[in-house]
A and B are shown apart, each in its own frame.
Chain A
Amino acid sequence: MKQTALSQKHIDLGAKMVEFAGYAMPVQYSGVNEEHEIVRNGVGVFDVSHMGEFMLRGTGALDLIQKISSNDAEKLFDGKAQYACIPNETGGIIDDFLTYRISKDEYLLVVNASNIEKDWNWLVKNNTFDCEMENISDQTSLLAVQGPKAAEAIQDLTDIDLDLMPYYTHQTCTFAGIENVLVSTTGYTGSGGFEIYFPNESANQIWEAIFNSGKNCGIKPIGLAARDTLRLEMGFCLYGNDIDDNTSPLEAGLGWVTKFTKQFTNANNLLAEKENGIKNRLVGFELLDRGIPRHGYAIIDVNGKEIGKVTSGTMGPSVQKAIGLGYVPHSLSAIGTEILIQVRNKQLKAKVVKLPFYKAN
């Protein structure tokens, strides 16, 4: 099993560790509900160093990104980040990822840990543009400082004005005395905050600095279990659960990052799918009966016919409801549609609701 630069730190802090995407990762510290609320109302820190990072450089970098990305990277400017997926040639999704434009000829791509090798190979295969590629995943640490008090917690560690950074932007700065740290206003929790990228050898120094600086804000380490409940309350897709090699970006609700203003892998088929109308749609639902939906449970229509599968489900700590995501036929995807979830031997009433489940005050 691979370690992040901070795996031992998590063990020392009493975290419950699990293997995730081949890495020893903290799944929980004090308890998932408590950690979840810390991020919603205060500030918490996730070690997400297992994520993959690729540097793309050269005049062909943008061409390569435009070819593999569903989104239009031409719209990026220096210091801007963009969410997108990597479509495959058969209608599915290779990964979802972030593109950071450092400069016109230099980009950082951030991908899911479980897909690093698959994505890298795909990029290599598509690199007919003489783009210089470097996989810096193993040398790069990533901390996500998330929550409404995130800026206050870490402002003293840098000269850049964190409160002034718009959503989905980034700056390279000196952070906690370390030069060339990339700070971005991204994250996957729906509670705001920052993601901080730096070389592994600075991990302990930056971790300590963040916790010292954030002490007065009640900063706490947060495990991956709370990361999952936080993202699910926002209706954000998790690769491997809600999206995968066989799910359509359009059916997954990623049409907003699928831009037909340019050519990219499978664009023609996806455009045809859009014009002909999608067959299924990923929807959010909440249970009306008591119970909890889980990945893989069947979704049933009111006539008793199986119409789809739950892709993610949990008891949402902030919304205090049993919530889930799943694919249903497009005709049954309207807000308010009554559906049933097969939970063990029972069919529990549920209804399609608008995403996100959680709305910040």
Chain B
Amino acid sequence: MNLSADLKYTNDHEWIKVDGDVATIGVTDFAQRELGDIVYVEIETVGETLDKEEVFGTIEAVKTVSDLFMPVSGEVMEFNEALESNPETVNDDAFGAGWMIKVKMSDTSELDELLNAEAYEALIS
């Protein structure tokens, strides 16, 4: 698997793309493969300010339900509404069109605690 060096990663198998103080967040390709066919993504925290590690939503595969955790603290600005009607996009393009939320970060120094591509690769191999 080719993990982008431009992204940060978490132990919960999420990826974070940073643009200024805005973080775009999704789950990794490894996560979608482990979960299997994604049938529902529920995110109802848009507008809320959440701490790092708090649950911002839920992802449901045919057999399982998993919580989605904030990799950094901040305000959830936007939810990828395309996932409401096409949750399988997470399976098809986890690192691209399958993104989940955009967050206005309240403390960018938290990014230093996240995994780089090399560390995440080690986690999943």
Binding site for B on A (CB under 8 A): 16, 27-28, 31-34, 225, 228-229, 290-292, 294, 314-315, 317, 322, 344
Contacts and interface: CB of A to CB of B under 8 A. Distances in A.
Contacts of A315: 39-40, 60, 62
Contact of B62 (A16, A32, A290): A32
A188 to B, nearest CB: 17
A31 B37 contact: yes
The list of the 10 closest CB pairs from A to B, nearest first, reads A315-B39, A33-B37, A32-B62, A292-B60, A32-B37, A31-B37, A225-B63, A292-B40, A32-B36, A314-B62
Contacts of B36: 16, 28, 31-32, 225
Contact of B65 (A16, A27, A229, A292): A292
Contacts of A229: 62
B62 A225 contact: yes
Contact of B39 (A28, A292, A344): A292
Contacts of B58: 344
28 contacts: A31-B36, A31-B37, A31-B91, A32-B36, A32-B37, A32-B63, A33-B62, A34-B37, A225-B36, A225-B62, A225-B63, A228-B63, A229-B62, A290-B40, A290-B42, A290-B84, A291-B40, A292-B39, A292-B40, A292-B60, A292-B65, A294-B65, A315-B39, A315-B40, A315-B60, A315-B62, A317-B62, A344-B58
Contacts of A317: 62
A294 B36 CA distance: 17
Interface of B: 36-37, 39-40, 42, 58, 60, 62-63, 65, 84, 88, 91
B82 to A, nearest CB: 15
Contacts of A33: 37, 62, 88
Contacts of B91: 31
Contacts of A294: 65
A39 B63 CA distance: 18
A291 B37 contact: no
Contacts of A16: 36
A128 B32 CA distance: 54
The CB with the most chain A CB atoms within 10 A, among B36, B62, B63, B88, is that of B62
Contacts of B63: 27, 32, 225, 228, 314
Given A34-B37, A291-B42, A315-B62, 18 more contacts: A16-B36, A28-B36, A31-B36, A31-B91, A32-B36, A33-B88, A225-B36, A228-B63, A290-B40, A291-B40, A292-B39, A292-B60, A292-B65, A314-B62, A315-B39, A315-B40, A317-B62, A322-B40
Contacts of B37: 31-34
Contacts of A31: 36-37, 91
